[in-house]
Structure 1
Amino acid sequence: MSQVIEQAVQARLVASAPRAESVAATLRYDRADPYAVSMAFPPPATLEGVEVSWAFARELLVEGMEGPAGLGDVRLRPYGYDRTVVEFHAPEGVAMVHVRTSELRRFLERSQHLVPRGREHQYAGWDHWDRELAQLLEEHS
C-alpha cells in the first residue's frame, strides 16, 4: 500500500477582479508525517513562477470544512454549497482559493485509510524507526 496520497484539485483563485481564475493544485498526505497535509501550486499559478507548497494540520482541514478554523498562515472556512475557502497568509499578502468541499472530503477519506484520525501518534516517526531497525538488523546478520 502506498504511504503517500496525492490528489489533484481545481482551485479558484479569488482576486479583486470580478472573474475568479482556476488554478491547478495538489493535495498531499504522507504517512511519514501523519499530522500534516500540504497543498502545492505549480509555477504558473504563483507570483514567483516556482512551485509553492503550504503544509498545515490535517485536523485544520477537517475543522475548516465545518466552520472557520485557523489563526496562523493557513485559514479555512466553508463558503456556500460545496465550497471551502482556503486562505494563505504571507508577508507578501493573502491568497484565497475556493476548493470543492467534496474533493477535500474525498482526499481526507483516502488519508484515513493510511492513518485513521486520532491514531496519528501511532505512526509518527515509525517509518524512520523501521528503516533504522532494518539497517541494524542487516548489519548484524
Structure 2
Amino acid sequence: MRHTVVERELELRMIVSPEYDVPVPARLAYRTDDPYAVHVVFHVGSEHPVHWTFARDLLVEGVFRPCGDGDVRVWPSKALGRSVVLLALSAPDGEALLEAPAAQVAAWLERTLRLVPPGSEGEQLGIDDELAGLLAQ
C-alpha cells in the first residue's frame, strides 16, 4: 500500500508575553499511514527540533472553536486584525503558546481531509485486510 505525506512549512509565533513574541519555523505533516494524527516539528532546521503529535480532529475543530484539554489545546482568535489559530502545548519540560496563521493551517487541513475524509481513517490502516489474511491462514 502506497502512503502519502502532506506537509506545509510555516512560521509560527511563540507568545512570550502580551508585548513580545518569537518567530518559530515549523512544519505540519500528515501521513496516510498514521491517519488519525498530525505531526508538528518546531524549530525546523535547528540542531534540536521539537516534535509533537496529536489528533487531526483536534486541529480541525480548533480552527473553528476552542477544544482540547490536557497537553494540547487549540482555539481560533484574532491578532492584529487577522485570523489565527492558537495552540497551547504543555509538557513536563514546560509550556508554550503558539500562534499560527489560520488561513495557512486551514488550507493544509483541507488537503489532508480531501486525501483522507473524516470517518475513513480506519480504511487507511488496512486492518481489515490484515485480519482477513491472518484468518485465512
Per the normalisation by structure 2, the TM-score is 0.82
Q: Which amino acid is 2:85 matched to?
A: T
In 2, distance between residues paired with 1:6 and 1:20? 25
**Hey, what does 1:66 align to over in structure 2?**
64
Matches within 5 A, 1:101-116: 101-116=102-117
Among 47, 54, 57, the residue aligned to 2:55: 57
Q: Which amino acid is 2:10 matched to?
A: V
Structure 2: runs of 5 or more not aligned:
none
* Conservation of the 8 A alpha-carbon contact between 1:11 and 1:23: yes
* Conservation of the 8 A alpha-carbon contact between 1:36 and 1:58: yes
* Conservation of the 8 A alpha-carbon contact between 2:11 and 2:100: yes
* Conservation of the 8 A alpha-carbon contact between 1:33 and 1:125: no
Query: Alignment length, in residue pairs?
Result: 126
> Are 1:35 and 2:36 counterparts?
yes
CA distance 1:26–1:44, change in 2 (3 Å): closer
Greater strand share, structure number: 2
* Offset of residue 42 of structure 1: 2.4
Q: Which amino acid is 1:93 matched to?
A: G
Q: Which amino acid is 2:38 matched to?
A: V
* Conservation of the 8 A alpha-carbon contact between 2:14 and 2:96: yes
Per the normalisation by structure 1, the TM-score is 0.80
* Conservation of the 8 A alpha-carbon contact between 1:32 and 1:125: no
The DSSP-based 3-state class of the residue aligned with 2:69 is coil
The DSSP-based 3-state class of the residue aligned with 2:114 is helix
* Conservation of the 8 A alpha-carbon contact between 2:74 and 2:87: yes
Q: Which amino acid is 1:41 matched to?
A: F
Q: Percent identity?
A: 35
* Conservation of the 8 A alpha-carbon contact between 2:25 and 2:44: no
* Offset of residue 25 of structure 1: 0.3
Give CA deviations for 1:32-78 in whole Å, capped at 9, x if unaligned.
Answer: 01000011112677xxx511111010000011111111112111011
**Hey, what does 1:16 align to over in structure 2?**
17
Runs of 4+ in 1 over 3 A off after TM superposition: none
**Hey, what does 1:118 align to over in structure 2?**
119
* Offset of residue 17 of structure 1: 6.8
* Conservation of the 8 A alpha-carbon contact between 1:65 and 1:78: yes
The DSSP-based 3-state class of the residue aligned with 1:20 is strand
